[in-house]
């Protein structure tokens, strides 16, 4: 039987890690090895195919374009993890290092890397093994979202948001509608989140 969450979290995984983008990274195979060494009898994971396409790669229907006009979508993978009698699921974006993968740089290797990353993260969340590695990663890339009250978005903020949507080829009306809002009922918090999403994706200030 696998050890408790607290015991697993105390395991020092750093000697088994490699460096990637300035952060410690635990390989998926070593993760499985450590699970077995600490009581797990059954450890496996498998992709969960997209129900529409049957592919292990999932993507949004909405296409974005960066400032250079390069097409992009939000790509993700989803996996099922079994550890003894417990079954978990984890979905994670497909990344190129610390950057999102664009249409012109997608590869099977990056899809595989995304699923491996999802496995190690799923193990950390549910068993505690290597959890502190993720604390460091998440704190390093924590996005800034301004604190706001639930008041309506200012006309200046909406004007900026509309302008950025237009410059990046985004359908702002559709985006707002998906949030269950109109431009007239959009709140300061929701507008701030949208502006922050554009900043994170395209680097706008």
Q: Render pLDDT for 31-66 as a digit per residue (tens, 0 to 9).
A: 999 999 999 999 999 999 999 899 999 988 777 777
Question: Following DSSP, what letter does each residue of 141-180 receive, concatenated?
Answer: TPPP-----S-BPPHHHHHHHHHHHHHTT--HHHHHHHTT
Dihedral angle computed from the Cα positions of residues 199, 200, 203 and 205, in that order, rounded to the nearest 10 degrees:
30
Q: How confident is the model at residue 147 (pLDDT cuts 50, 70, 90)?
A: very low
DSSP 193: H
Is residue 112 helix, strand or coil? helix
10 vs 105, residue with greater confidence: 10
* Domains identified in the chain, total number: 2
For position 85, which CATH number holds? Answer: 3.30.390.80
Residue 46 is part of which domain span?
5-140
Q: Is residue 149 part of a domain?
A: no
Is residue 89 helix, strand or coil? strand
How much is the average pLDDT of 100-118? 88
143 vs 95, residue with greater confidence: 95
Are 104 and 33 contained in the same domain?
A: yes
Cβ atoms of 72 and 89 closer than 8 Å: no
CA dist 170 and 166 (Å) reads 6
């Amino acid at each position: 039987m696998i050890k408790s969450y607290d015991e697993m979290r105390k395991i020092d995984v750093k000697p088994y890690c490699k460096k990637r983008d300035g952060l410690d990274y635990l390989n998926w195979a070593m993760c499985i090895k450590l699970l077995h060494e600490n009581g797990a009898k059954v450890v496996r994971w498998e992709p969960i195919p997209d129900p529409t396409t049957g592919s292990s790669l999932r993507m949004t229907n909405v296409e974005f374009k960066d400032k250079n006009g390069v097409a992009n979508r939000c790509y993700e993978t989803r996996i099922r993890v079994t550890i003894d009698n417990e079954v978990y699921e984890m979905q994670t974006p497909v990344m190129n290092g610390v950057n999102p993968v664009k249409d012109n740089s997608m590869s099977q290797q990056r899809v595989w890397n995304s699923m491996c990353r999802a496995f190690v993260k799923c193990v950390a969340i549910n068993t505690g093994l290597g959890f502190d590695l993720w604390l460091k990663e998440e704190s390093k890339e924590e996005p800034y979202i301004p604190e706001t009250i639930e008041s309506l978005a200012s006309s200046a903020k909406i004007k900026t948001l509309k302008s950025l949507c237009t410059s990046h080829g985004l359908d702002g009306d559709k985006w707002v509608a998906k949030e269950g809002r109109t431009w007239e009922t959009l709140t300061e918090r929701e507008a701030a989140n949208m502006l922050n999403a554009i900043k994170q994706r395209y680097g706008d200030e």
